Structure 1
Amino acid sequence: MKRCCEGVGLPCLFKGVGMASPRPPKYLLVFDFDETIINENSDESIVRAAPGQALPEHIRQTFREGFYNEYMQRVLAYMGDQGVKMGDFKTVYENIPLSPGMPDLFQFLSKNHELFEIILISDANMFGIECNLKAAGFYSLFRKIFSNPSSFDKRGYFTLGPYHSHKCLDCPANMCKRKILTEYLAERAQEEVEFERVFYVGDGANDFCPSATLTSADVAFPRKGYPMHRMTQEMEKKQPGAFQATVVPWESASEVARYLQELLKKKC
């Protein structure tokens, strides 16, 4: 990244007087939300706001693999019919606990914010993510949040839409996180921001898809014992070396913080 008037044939008048442009962040840190930042699946959590804290069988039977977003649209329509309002959903989202060690990790990132650009890619929904992160006090950490659009209509019903369409055969119909991450990196490169390393913190099968595109310089942090972790292990058995990123499983996000801390020490 050029600073001041370098590269345009003029002397830089501001050198040495503290006027240089701030350096871009060195690292991109990507988070999932459900069962990664928070310790629950938020789509399942909101059922606590439904009558009897349960869904009727005829709603649950409409679920189809790969079409969870459509299923949740039906769940939310049912809850709207039952009189569940914005405040009811907000209360549930605000009270979902963060995963073990996540506050420690976020505090570490807050202290080192100039080194990390942080984004969130989630198949949950924007309203729920914002409610939770604002209540926890960490919303401002994230440069950008990618999630399914959600709002409340004139009736007060909570509505949900798909994030986008894609051609990936491994991801749900409404979201491919690989596509989102690839496009984000390309967009930032056009803005002359390129990262030394990408770190990906997740848990699910839809987190495996983007993490499989990481390079040998990057690090994948799968939650131990969850689908993303199992899939990285299976790939290593079937195709040794095919998964290029360093794999660092975690039970507590404090382990992620310690890994990043050690990395920064080595850089000093």
Structure 2
Amino acid sequence: MRDSVFNCCFAPPHPPPGRRDESHFQGNRALAPPPNDRRFLIFFDFDETLVDECSDDAVVSAAPGGSLPSWLKDTYRPGRYNEYMQRVLAYLAEQGVTPGTIISTIERLPPCPGIPALLRFLMSRPPRDFEVVCVSDANTVFIEAWLQNLGFRQLFLRIFANPAHFDDNGQLQLRPFHSHSCLRCPMNMCKAEIVRQYTAQRVRERGGRRYQKVLYVGDGANDFCPSLTLSPGDTAFPRRDFPMHRLIQEMGEAKPGEYKANVVPWSSGEDIINRLRKIVEEKP
């Protein structure tokens, strides 16, 4: 039996400012009822979508000499990156890399061009416009740290990512998000399953009322899969010339008309803002 997204670890909404909330590492817990009047549901990837690097690669810079030994790099197996990162984090702890060093490394990650402006735009909109969710193959500690540091954590109603926490010895413990049967995705996460299950559950919680549009912002090959769940009235925002964009283009050439969502490539968050301004003005 496959795991349900809602039996997995995810971050609760709106932790108190200035404090990293680790209560979501405790498993299932009662959450405050989410707002049910939002018009639009927008999903964001994290690595190379919100931040302009891969956070897992960036944390390697904290290792002695700024790189990993060859014997460790050679243990990587395709589709099992989460397991590989568990070994990387254990190695960093063995080398004396502290939690503070890891967090400060993540906090310094640069945002993608225009992303702070985009997040400020979403925060400035009327409360009933956007329900914002992060779905990422990074981990909860990295995402929470970065969003909190830039003051954007309160924007995100949910964060779906690989569960992580620092143990008593200071090692960042990492687990896979869930199991699934999707052949496109790495073993630890299928974002399409997360998007489908979350959207369906939210519609039930909203008394059957659907969102006016579902929007997805991403860059990678693992963002292509969830974009296939979007309907013709929805919009995919692939980062221009990144794998998600190329896969959408290839599908359009190989199977014209099969990709359902509207496609708006972006190079800067300003490109997304421009389209969102038009979307919020559309009549239901």
**Which one of the candidate residues 157, 170, 181 is aligned to 1:167?**
181
Q: Tell me the equivalent position of 2:116.
A: 103
**Which one of the candidate residues 147, 150, 158 is aligned to 1:133?**
147
Partners of 1:258 and 1:203 lie apart in 2 by: 18
Partners of 1:29 and 1:23 lie apart in 2 by: 14
1:218 paired to 2:234:
yes
What's the CA shift string for 1:93-143, capped at 9, x where partnerless? Answer: 111011000011111101114200000000000000000001111010000
Structure with larger RCO (C-alpha < 8 A, sep 6+): 2
Q: Tell me the equivalent position of 1:233.
A: 249
TM-score (norm 2): 0.85
Q: Tell me the equivalent position of 2:101.
A: 88
What's the CA shift string for 1:229-259, capped at 9, x where partnerless? Answer: 0000000000001110001000001100111
Q: Tell me the equivalent position of 1:49.
A: 62
Q: Tell me the equivalent position of 2:9.
A: none
Partners of 1:231 and 1:71 lie apart in 2 by: 26
Q: Tell me the equivalent position of 2:90.
A: 77
Shift in Å at residue 38 of structure 1? 0.5
Shift in Å at residue 267 of structure 1? 3.8
RMSD: 1.3
State the SS of the aligned residue for 2:279.
helix
Q: Which amino acid aligns with 1:27?
A: F
Partners of 2:129 and 2:282 lie apart in 1 by: 14
Q: Is the 8 A contact 2:43 2:132 kept in 1?
A: yes
1:206 paired to 2:217:
no
Q: Which moved more, 1:29-38 or 1:182-191?
A: 182-191
Bigger Cα Rg: 1
Q: Which moved more, 1:258-267 or 1:69-78?
A: 258-267
What's the CA shift string for 1:143-192, capped at 9, x where partnerless? Answer: 00000010112221111100000011110000000111111011111112
Q: Is the 8 A contact 2:36 2:205 kept in 1?
A: no
Q: Which amino acid aligns with 1:214?
A: L
Shift in Å at residue 23 of structure 1? 6.7
Shift in Å at residue 263 of structure 1? 2.1
Partners of 2:36 and 2:96 lie apart in 1 by: 50
State the SS of the aligned residue for 2:236.
strand
Structure 2: 5+ residue stretches without partners: 1-34
What's the CA shift string for 1:30-84, capped at 9, x where partnerless? Answer: 0000000000000000011111111011111111111100000010011111001
Q: Tell me the equivalent position of 1:5.
A: none
Partners of 1:83 and 1:137 lie apart in 2 by: 29
Mapping for residues 236-255 of structure 1, pairs under 5 Å: 236-255=252-271
Q: Tell me the equivalent position of 1:4.
A: none
Give the number of aligned pairs: 247
Shift in Å at residue 203 of structure 1? 0.3
1:68 paired to 2:81:
yes
Structure 1 vs Structure 2: percent identity of aligned residues?
Answer: 48
Structure 1: 5+ residue stretches without partners: 1-21
TM-score (norm 1): 0.90
Partners of 2:226 and 2:203 lie apart in 1 by: 18
Q: Which amino acid aligns with 1:140?
A: Q
State the SS of the aligned residue for 1:33.
coil
**Which one of the candidate residues 161, 164, 170 is aligned to 1:147?**
161
Q: Is the 8 A contact 2:129 2:280 kept in 1?
A: no
